[in-house]
Amino acid sequence: DIQMTQSPPSLTASIGDRVTITCRAGQSISSYLHWYQQKPGKAPKLLIYAASTLQRGVPSRFSGSGSGTDFTLTITSLQPEDFASYYCQQSYSPPLTFGQGTKVEVK
Amino acid sequence: EVQLLESGGDLGQPGGSLRLSCAASGFTFSSFAMNWVRQAPGKGLEWVSSITSSGSIIFYAESVRGRFTISRDNSKSTLFLQMNSLRADDTAVYYCARGLGGNLGRNWFDPWGQGTLVTVSS
């Protein structure tokens, strides 16, 4: 199985801050890396697929980068609605695996 | 609007069975792979199973293989998860999600249903 490791597990930030979340794969996964946002009590929502492609309707302050084993999700100017948990997921090979999540909290 | 609506979550006995359903609308269900993903209380996301659009290819997580069966009825735009030999660690919210991105093992998930809670306890 391909292990996905996110860092940090949690972070505190203020409105307007630039936030960066990292996801590392246990082996090269090319660009088969996707990011989701989940708010408490709600289903996950796709933000970015194939490492860097923004899902339709997702604000442009979200961006993704990376390939191989190291990937980054960046929020350029944190908004109130962005306080949530974020998960990466690899689809290079089954079993499809997720990172353990990063919780973004208010400072 | 693309929608997925799960049902069937309940309190189940250890060793017992439950059947989850996911009703799809707003898209051509028979053209897409479908998936189940679960989330234990306070924990992260765990992929459970995937099925191709025709139902001809199926993948399972090791944790459920031999106990859970995924299936679909394209005539009714409905996805199923038959859960047998339930264990306490199957307790979770179960989400169905449409698969995107080509081959079954290469899927990402969008959209997701609202989830249905399965609790396994005596």
Q: Determine, for residues A95 and B62 on separate chains, whether the beta-carbon distance falls below 8 Å.
A: yes
Nearest to B61 among A95, A99, A100 (CB): A95
What is the DSSP-derived secondary structure letter of residue B106? G
Residues of chain B with C-beta less than 8 angstroms from the C-beta of A32: 106
Contact state of B108 with A101 under an 8 Å Cβ cutoff: no
pLDDT at B117 over 80: yes
Residue A94: its chain B contacts at CB < 8 A? 50, 59, 104-105
User: What is the structure's pLDDT at B78?
Assistant: 98
Identify whether the C-beta of residue B33 lies closer than 8 Å to the C-beta of residue B54. no
Task: Provide, as residue numbers in chain A, all residues whose Cβ is less than 8 Å from the Cβ of B101.
Answer: 49-50, 91
Q: Which of B24, B23, B15 is CA-nearest to residue B84?
A: B15
**DSSP 3-state of A94:** coil
Cα A59 from Cα A46, distance rounded (Å): 12
Q: What is the pLDDT of residues B25-82, one digit of tens each?
A: 999 999 999 999 999 999 999 999 999 999 999 999 999 999 999 999 999 999 999 9
Distance in Å, alpha carbon of A36 to nearest chain B alpha carbon: 9
Number of residues assigned to chain A: 107
- At residue B104, the pLDDT reads 74
* Whole-Å CA distances, B45 to A7, A89, B38, B75: 16, 9, 6, 30
The answer to whether the CB atoms of A95 and B110 lie below 8 A apart is no
- pLDDT (average), residues A59-71: 98
**Mean per-residue pLDDT, B16-22:** 98
pLDDT tens-place string over residues A1-24:
999 999 999 999 999 999 999 999
Question: Where residue B106 falls among pLDDT bands split at 50, 70, 90?
Answer: confident
Rounded to the nearest angstrom, the minimum Cα separation between B97 and chain A is 10
Task: Mean pLDDT check: name the lowest of B9-23, B33-47, B79-93, B101-115.
Answer: B101-115
Interfacial residues of A (vs B; Cβ cutoff 8 Å): 32, 34, 36, 38, 42-46, 49-50, 55, 87, 89, 91-101
Phi then psi for B30, rounded to 5 degrees?
-70, -5
